[in-house]
Amino acid sequence: MAANIRALVLAVLVASALSAHGQSVVCAVDYGGERRPLVFQATASPETVPAVAIGSYFLFRAVLRSEPADLAAFKVYIYADRDEGPTPIHQGTWPWPQAAGEPFTGLQRVYEPVRDGELQYACHVKAGP
């Protein structure tokens, strides 16, 4: 069932990115040998952006805010999905806008403090719809 929920969330993210005009951010996420793209569109309501489950341990949440200009940024939050609730273990913030092309985040690595696994991600701007 969790896999179905993850697939649904990913499908919604991709569909919203394809239907929107302008720029989007694509993050290539690699965990446990499984690599997948996550697509993010700008939002005016950052608090409503859901986290995406990655494996059984990580939650990946990215917020792209392009307006107002003084708050424009791309932010990534990684949480450990623990029994007592999500625990923040990583945050990255990059200024917005960014140029399309190479990953503007560089290659980021987040380690599991309990299981000794590693999540990697790199995000780049995708221009157009």
At position 106, the amino acid (one-letter code) is G
List the structure tokens of 58: 């990580």
| Structural domain spans, the chain | 2-126
- Residue 16's pLDDT is what? 37
pLDDT tens across 82-108, in order? 999 999 999 999 999 999 988 999 999
pLDDT tens across 38-60, in order? 999 999 999 999 999 999 999 99
- Residue 71's pLDDT is what? 94
Quickly state the pLDDT bin for 127 (edges 50, 70, 90): confident
- Residue 81's pLDDT is what? 92
For residue 3, pLDDT beyond 90: no
- Residue 22's pLDDT is what? 65
Quickly state the pLDDT bin for 13 (edges 50, 70, 90): very low
- Cα separation, 8 vs 110, in Å, equals 25
List the structure tokens of 70: 């003084």
Quickly state the pLDDT bin for 18 (edges 50, 70, 90): very low
Could you give phi then psi for residue 70, rounded to 5 degrees?
A: -75, -15
- Cα separation, 94 vs 129, in Å, equals 22
Mean of pLDDT over the chain: 84
